[in-house]
Every structure is written in structure tokens, then in C-alpha cells.
Structure 1
Amino acid sequence: MGNWIRNELCALTEENLNLLLDFKIPGIIVENFIPAETCERVAQRLRETAFDNYDHLKDIPVHHIGLCHNQWAHSEKPIYFDKKDQAQQVIDEIYDSLNIDPVAMVIDALAQTGRSVGLFEEPGFGQYFAGAFRSFRGHGRLHADHAPSHIKQPWSVTEISRQMTWNIYYSMLNTGGELVIYDTIHTAANDHMKVPGEYYFPYEVLEREDHLRIRPKVGDLILFNTQNFHEILGNTDGHRISQTSFIGLKQDGSLGLWS
């Protein structure tokens, strides 16, 4: 018997957020979170902007704009935080004159469930960056994201008890690009199955066939628990671009965002 009590994306409510944190549902959706016209304007600006690669990972088919903590999590802390202001400036320029702040909008939406929500902070350094853009082309292989498991140095984000993510989709591919979430939770017991030297796992790690396959729509906000194994299906055409960050559940029950 699996963990999920419903195999579908659910509305953003206090009850459903708790269920997601407890691995009882595959995800949450807020449709048309950003108007389609605004998404098209942002997508056009993004297509004209140079994306960086994840050079610390081999053969991962994703590029980004902004600052991604996992690239610098094994370096000295000032290296990451010295890059934050410049990364935020790039994001602000993409939204120039559009009068929206999607990261603040996500924080407000989550706060409506009754939890305290804000950007993650590192003592002595300040707030983390949140809200990177990511562009996928190709197969984002089966993996899970969980800072306490993957980061060996002491950062505030390694003190969380659960990890989720949010994504707002600005551009989708003509074919492919589906998100697939599996009803199998990453744990210390299955971590040894990770392909040596890679970021991904073989399908043998999956404990059951239960999964949800999602083709996101432009403008939608989708949240899911990144401790569930997941993948992005392969594609070669068009642009699949989203804005995203992780969401960590702190020991006091509050939520913190970081990219």
C-alpha cells in the first residue's frame, strides 16, 4: 500500500499543505497564478537572456538564471552570499515595469495556510536568494532533493525536517516536458542506490508503480515534495522555463524559501 491518499494535484489549503508535507498527496496546484499575458512577456525576456549551466553536475539538461545554492553548498559561505545581490538584480531586471514579485506572491499564498513564511536566513550572512529561473531541454533523470541528505557542511537549510519546491511555469515545450512524481520517498536507506558520480537514481529505487504525470500549463503554480523521487521527461524542442525555489520546513513549523 502506498503513501498517497489521493493521486492528483490538490488546492492550496492548510489541510493539503500538511498532507503534502506528510507525503500523503503528490502535489498542490494554483491555476493561472500569473496571467498568461505577463508570462509571455517574461518568457520573451528570458529567451533573450543568457542562462548559466550547472557545471557541478554531469549531463544534467538544465540551465538557470539567478543563484542556486547547491552549486556553492560545499564552498565557503561568503562565496554564495557575495553572489546574491547581483543575482537578484538580474531577476529584478527581468520583471522591470511588470509590477509583480512572484517570490513575494508565493510567500503570501503560503502564509494564507496559517504558517509563518519567509526567505531562509543564515546567521551572520543574512537572507538566501530565492526565485531562480530554470530552462529544461532533455531528460531530467530520476532524483530527489533534500538538503540535509545532500549537503555535508553546516548551513541553515540542512536543519529542515521536510523539503518541498514551488514552480511557476512561463513557457512550455511543444511536446514532452512532463513532471513525473513518484510515491516513493528518498531516505537514508535507499540513498546508496544513487548512480555513482551522478545526480540520479535507477528506477529500481522505486518501491511501487504509483506516480502522477503532470504537463504544467503556462501561469500555473505547482508545489510538490522534493523528497519524493521525480523526473522531467525528455524533450528537444521549444523552451520549458519555470521560476522556482525550495521550501524547507523548519523545526519551529515555519517555512523558509531558498534556491
Structure 2
Amino acid sequence: MGNWIRQELCELNEENLNLLMDFKIPGILVKGFISPEVCSVVSERLRQQDYANYSHLKEIPVHHIGLCHNQWANDEKSVYFAKKAQAQEVIDGIYKDLGINPVQMVIEAIATKAKRHVGIFEEPGFGPYFAGAFRQFRGHGRLHIDHAPSHIHKPWAVTEIARQMTWNIYYSMSNTGGELIIHDTIHTPQNEVMKKPGDYYFPYEVLEREDRITVKPQVGDLIIFNTQNFHEIMGSDDGFRISQTSFIGQKKDGSLGLWS
């Protein structure tokens, strides 16, 4: 018997966010979170940007704009935080004259609709993390999970979380491919050993059941899902699948913190 009580993306409210953190639903969907007009402008600006790669991971088919913490998690904390201002300047430039701050919009939506205290994650002695990187997929994002306590082996604040989720706002989508597949199998310390040595992904043998949902994100949508569920991104060759995203960590006091 599977974990999910509903095999669909659900609306954003307090009950569903709690169910998501308890692995009882596959995700949350807010249709049209960003208007088509704004998405069109942002998409055009994003296509003109230079993207960095995830140099700490082997052959992962995703590039990014902004600052991604796990690239610098094994360095001194000052290295990561020294990069934050410049990364934020780039993101602010993409939204110049548009009058929106999508990261803050996500925070307010969760706080208002799901009745959760939520903000940007902070590192004691250093301040807030960066949140809101853009990611561009080109190719198949193989079966994986995202879970800071499992992947980071130094004492960062984000390793002290009880649950990890993610939000994505989609600004550009490929005509073919790019589907998000979420599987009803939860990552555990026991199945962590099945991870491909020296790589980021897992073999399909890790899946405990066939239950899964396949989602073709639409431009402007906000999707939240639990990254401790195994998931994958289907192949897209044109590089037009671009979203803004960050993780969401549940702290020990039940509040939520965002970081990329």
C-alpha cells in the first residue's frame, strides 16, 4: 500500500501543506501564480543570460543563475556568503521594472494560505541565505532526491531540518519533454546506499512501488513538492525549461525557511 491518499497536485492550504510534509500527497499547485505577460518578459531576459553549471556534480543536465548552496557547502561558510550580494544583484536585474518579487510572493502565499511562519533561512553569525535561483534543464534529470541532512556533512543550519520541500515557478517550457515525475517512494538512510557511486542519481530499483504522477508544468504555475520523494525531470533538448526555485526546510520549531 502506498503513502499517498490522493494522486494529484492539490491546492495550497494548511491541511495540504501538512499532508505534503507527511508524504500523504504528491504536491501542491497554484495555477497562474505569475501572469503570462510577466512570464514572457522574464523568459526573454533569461534566454539572454549566461548560466553556470553544477561543477560539484557529475554530468547533471541543469544550469543555473544565482547562488546554489550545495556547491559551496564543503567550503568555509564565508565563501558562500561572500557570493550572495552579487547573485542577488543578477536576480534583481532580471525583474527590473516589473514590480514583483516572486520569492517574497511565495513566502506570503505560504504564510497566508497555509498558516505557516516562513522566511529566508538564516545561518547564525552570517545572516540570510540566498533564495530564488533560476534553473535551466537540458536533458534528463535522472531519478534523485534533495535532502540537505543527507548530502551535506558540515554543520550548516540547513542540515537541521525535519522535512525538505521545493517550490518552482515556471517561466519557460519546452514544447516536448520537461515533465516532472514524482514517485511515491520516500528517501531513507536505508535506501541511500543504492545511490550511484560518485554520482547524484539512483537506479530505478530503489522505487518501492509503481505509484507516481507525471506533471507537465505550465508557464506561470507554482508547484511545491517534497524533495524527499524520489523524482526526475524528463528530457528536454532545447534548454527552454526554466524555472525559479528554492528549497523549503521545516525547522525544529515547525517554521519554514527558504534557501537555494
Q: How does 1:26-41 map to 2 (within 5 A)?
A: 26-41=26-41
Alpha-carbon distance, 1:174 to partner:
1.1
Q: What is the percentage of aligned positions where both structures have the same residue? A: 73
Alpha-carbon distance, 1:235 to partner:
1.9
Which stretches in structure 2 are left out of the alignment for 5+ residues? none
Which stretches in structure 1 are left out of the alignment for 5+ residues? none
Aligned residue number for residue 222 of structure 2: 221
Q: How does 1:103-114 map to 2 (within 5 A)?
A: 103-112=103-112, 113-114=114-115
Aligned residue number for residue 65 of structure 1: 65
Aligned residue number for residue 250 of structure 2: 249
Residues 61 and 136 of structure 1 are in contact (CA less than 8 Å); yes or no, is this contact kept in structure 2? yes
CA distance in 1, matches of 2:47, 2:189: 39
Residues 159 and 251 of structure 1 are in contact (CA less than 8 Å); yes or no, is this contact kept in structure 2? yes
Alpha-carbon distance, 1:38 to partner:
0.3
Matched, 1:44 2:44: yes
Aligned residue number for residue 139 of structure 1: 140
One-letter amino acid matched to 2:124: P
Instruction: Give the length in aligned residue pairs.
Output: 259
TM-score normalised per structure 1: 0.99
Aligned residue number for residue 117 of structure 2: 116
CA distance in 2, matches of 1:149, 1:187: 9
Q: Secondary structure at the match of 2:143?
A: strand
CA distance in 2, matches of 1:73, 1:2: 34
Matched, 1:201 2:207: no
TM-score normalised per structure 2: 0.99
Residues 174 and 238 of structure 1 are in contact (CA less than 8 Å); yes or no, is this contact kept in structure 2? no
Cα deviation digits, residues 58-105 of structure 1 (max 9, x gap): 111100000000100111100000000000000000000000000000
Aligned residue number for residue 12 of structure 1: 12
CA distance in 2, matches of 1:115, 1:61: 33
Residues 175 and 237 of structure 1 are in contact (CA less than 8 Å); yes or no, is this contact kept in structure 2? no
CA distance in 1, matches of 2:239, 2:255: 38
Aligned residue number for residue 95 of structure 1: 95
Alpha-carbon distance, 1:238 to partner:
4.9
One-letter amino acid matched to 2:80: Y
Alpha-carbon distance, 1:115 to partner:
1.0
Alpha-carbon distance, 1:237 to partner:
2.5
Residues 147 and 157 of structure 1 are in contact (CA less than 8 Å); yes or no, is this contact kept in structure 2? yes
One-letter amino acid matched to 2:73: A
Pick which of 100-109 and 232-241 moved more: 232-241
- CA RMSD in angstroms, aligned pairs only: 0.5
Residues 165 and 223 of structure 1 are in contact (CA less than 8 Å); yes or no, is this contact kept in structure 2? yes
Q: Secondary structure at the match of 2:164?
A: strand
Q: Secondary structure at the match of 1:167?
A: strand
Alpha-carbon distance, 1:239 to partner:
0.3
One-letter amino acid matched to 1:35: S
Question: Which 4+ residue blocks in structure 1 deviate beyond 2 angstroms?
Answer: none
Q: Secondary structure at the match of 1:169?
A: strand
Cα deviation digits, residues 11-53 of structure 1 (max 9, x gap): 0000000000000000000000000110010000000010101
